[in-house]
Amino acid sequence: MKPLDPYCIKFSYAICVIFTLICSATVAAELPPSVRDALKRANIPMNSVGIEVREVNSATPLIRVNTNQAMNPASTMKLLTTYAALEILGPAYTWRTEAYIDGTLEEGVLKGNLIIKGYGNPKMNSEHLWLWLHDLRNRGLREIRGDLILDHSAFAPQVFDATAFDNDPLRAYNVTPDALLLNFNAIRFYFAPADGNVRIYTDPALSGITLDNKLTLKNQRNCGDWESNLHIQTLDSLIRLQGTYPAQCGERNKAVSLLSHSRYFEAVFRAVWQEVGGTLQGTSRDGIVPSSAIPISTHYSQPLSEIIRDINKFSNNVMARQLFLSLSLNNSDSIINIPLTNTAQSASVAQSEMVLRNWISKKGFDFPELVLENGAGLSRKERISPHSLSALLQDIQLSPFSAEIEASLPIVGVDGTMKKRHDNCAVTTHAHLKTGSLEGVKSIAGYLQSRSGKQWILVFFINHQNASRGQQAQDELIEWLEEAY
């Protein structure tokens, strides 16, 4: 076993005893000196910090700092969305993707159209699509002589500016939610120096899309910021890559979102359909399942209890937004009495917010400061207080789904967004904490088991221009709590 990192050994036994003795009288109003010092070194004033620490079953917090202040929680907002979804939809909830034929199917030939209707599966990928289309082949479909019609109507059209958040519309996290989301609508480009040139290929393969590789290989001292000299643009059915690629980088890859959801789905569908031995003669277009269509096959997603692990452990914003919208789908499988939309309506942000606030009210929460935009925390507008998030975490412990939520959180020093924090420390494996990070925001929230065996709730928000420098203060509090209590 490796020795403990000296950074983790913060307090002597005597200091721990002192803190334990005085906690009931004064600690509720005081932060440990190490946390204050770290904030001071980062030039983060106390009025930009919100903290609440409480024992899981305690009505009285151990530490409270600006705890009722409305603050931007960044991705810790996903705790609210995933918990509400578990209670509203249930841990076994799955998303459907349906295939219909509109025409006659004889001897493997469809004289008509194939319609694909999605309901917002957050994690459909090329492997799932391959298995599903292979199932279609097994059901006797080989040749489609009509069109591929894509039905996105389960989600209402969204007015969404992909440049609004950070003026970087190609970033994968800026993808618009869609009822027929596939591979997060991302194309991963792989680059490798080869014979004086740059070899490029994509995952997934894209049928009908041409790669125009105009990259030149460049020799320089080191790899550096290789992405800054890479320029990608789309021109109809052509993707052009220009700029330079440093030979010193070796093999690298980059994921971007370049195509509309419909164009992307068609390109991947055609590639996979051809791979499983099918043909498609017609074009692709958006539409609605007609009354004359006959269902032929349905694909089911992983259950919600598994989906939330990706959302929370890896802070997947696209999946969180898909889940948020799914709250307002008409679902007869809803396990608690929360009014959902009727079948004539598509899921929308406004509808989902109404459902979520209704759930909050029925739970008896009072979150007057709550501001929702997408439920993922990828937002400049969303707000919640440390106290409200602490109350949510406390309620989770009383829920029959507490194990599902806790299992979805990153384990400190082990996995997810906490894999490289506190590794080889006493606190390693002793905490499940959700992180959040935006420009000007640094947040962390979840559960910690201290050395004494007590279970704690910890919420620590920083909203300040120097927030990115506040991680050490958060780490100091985590390690102090593990040691002292």
226 and 245 in contact (C-beta within 8 Å)?
A: yes
Both tokens assigned to 464: 């300040």
What is the pLDDT at residue 364? 96
Contact 181, 122 (CB under 8 A): yes
Mean pLDDT of all residues in 306-335:
88
Q: In this predicted model, what pLDDT tens digit does every residue of 147-178 receive, in sequence order?
A: 999 999 999 987 766 666 665 666 777 899 99
Q: For the structural domain made of 96-159+261-300, what CATH number should be given?
A: 3.50.80.20
pLDDT value for 173: 77
Report pTM.
Answer: 0.90
DSSP state of 4: P
Percent pLDDT > 70 in the chain is: 89
Tell me the three state secondary structure of residue 100.
strand
Closest CA to 146 of 104, 182, 180: 104
pLDDT band for 343, please (50, 70, 90 cuts).
Answer: very low
pLDDT-derived band of residue 17, with 50, 70 and 90 as boundaries? very low
pLDDT at 358 > cutoff 90: yes
The answer to whether residue 485 scores a pLDDT higher than 80 is: yes
Which amino acid appears at position 286 of this protein?
Answer: D
Supply the pLDDT for residue 221.
86
Q: What is the pLDDT of residue 477?
A: 96
Hey, how many other C-beta atoms are within 10 angstroms of the C-beta on 294?
A: 13
Domain edges within the chain:
6-91+310-484, 96-159+261-300, 187-256
pLDDT top residue among 16 and 338: 338
pLDDT of residue 476: 96
What does the alpha-carbon distance between residue 74 and residue 79 come to, in Å, rounded to a whole number?
Answer: 11
Count H helices and E strands in the chain, helices first: 11, 18
Residue 11, token pair as written in the block? 């307090």
Higher local confidence (pLDDT), 24 or 38: 38
* Matching CATH number, 6-91+310-484, of 3.40.710.10, 3.30.565.10, 3.50.50.60, 3.40.30.10: 3.40.710.10
Reply yes or no on whether the pLDDT at 340 is more than 80.
no
For residues 406 and 268, give the distance between their C-alpha atoms in angstroms, rounded to a whole number.
35
Residue 2 has pLDDT above 80, yes or no: no
Pairing status of strand 238-246 against strand 210-218: parallel
Tens of pLDDT along 422-475? 877 888 999 999 999 999 999 999 999 999 999 999 999 999 999 999 999 999
* pLDDT band of 15, cuts 50, 70, 90: very low
pLDDT at residue 166, as a whole number: 66
Mean pLDDT along residues 98-107: 97
Mean pLDDT over all residues of the chain? 90
Tens of pLDDT, residue by residue over 270-287, are: 999 999 999 999 999 999
